[in-house]
């Protein structure tokens, strides 16, 4: 599984969230490399769509809560059904994330390119 943020702000928020959960903090997680991806996939389960969530009986709050049980179960089911990825709101409240089932991408594309290197905390706030 490859987790991608759909915005730089989301990537920063996800790093800060991870850092807040460790004794070493965000600074201890640096340096980090930020990559951009060219992604072209079909069969994406889009949980940002209210109609899709309603059709499977899941509320948005369950997707962003601290307990990952529901998200993991949805991921297992989506993978088994042959979805290429799952799009969902970020638990940070900023933008969205795309969880890509790398082994399921089929004819899709997933091309990375390094965009930035974050070595100090101020790099997270730098304009791009």
Predicted model pTM: 0.89
Q: In this predicted model, what pLDDT tens digit does every residue of 72-125 receive, in sequence order? A: 889 999 999 999 999 999 989 999 999 999 999 989 999 999 889 999 999 999
pLDDT in tens, 29-74: 999 999 999 999 999 999 999 999 999 998 888 888 777 788 888 9
- How far apart CA 117 and CA 119 sit, in angstroms, is 6
């Amino acid at each position: 599984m490859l987790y991608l943020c759909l915005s730089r702000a989301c990537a920063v928020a996800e790093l800060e969230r991870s850092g807040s959960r460790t004794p070493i903090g965000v600074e201890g997680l640096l340096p980090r490399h930020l990559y951009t991806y060219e992604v072209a996939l079909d069969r994406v389960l889009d949980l940002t769509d209210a109609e899709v969530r309603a059709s499977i009986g899941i509320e948005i709050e369950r997707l962003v809560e601290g307990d990952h049980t529901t998200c993991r179960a949805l991921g297992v089911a989506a993978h088994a059904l042959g979805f290429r990825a799952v799009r969902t709101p970020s638990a940070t409240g900023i933008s969205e994330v795309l969880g890509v089932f790398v082994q399921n991408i089929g004819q899709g594309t997933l091309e990375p390119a390094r965009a930035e290197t974050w070595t100090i905390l101020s790099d997270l706030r730098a304009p791009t």
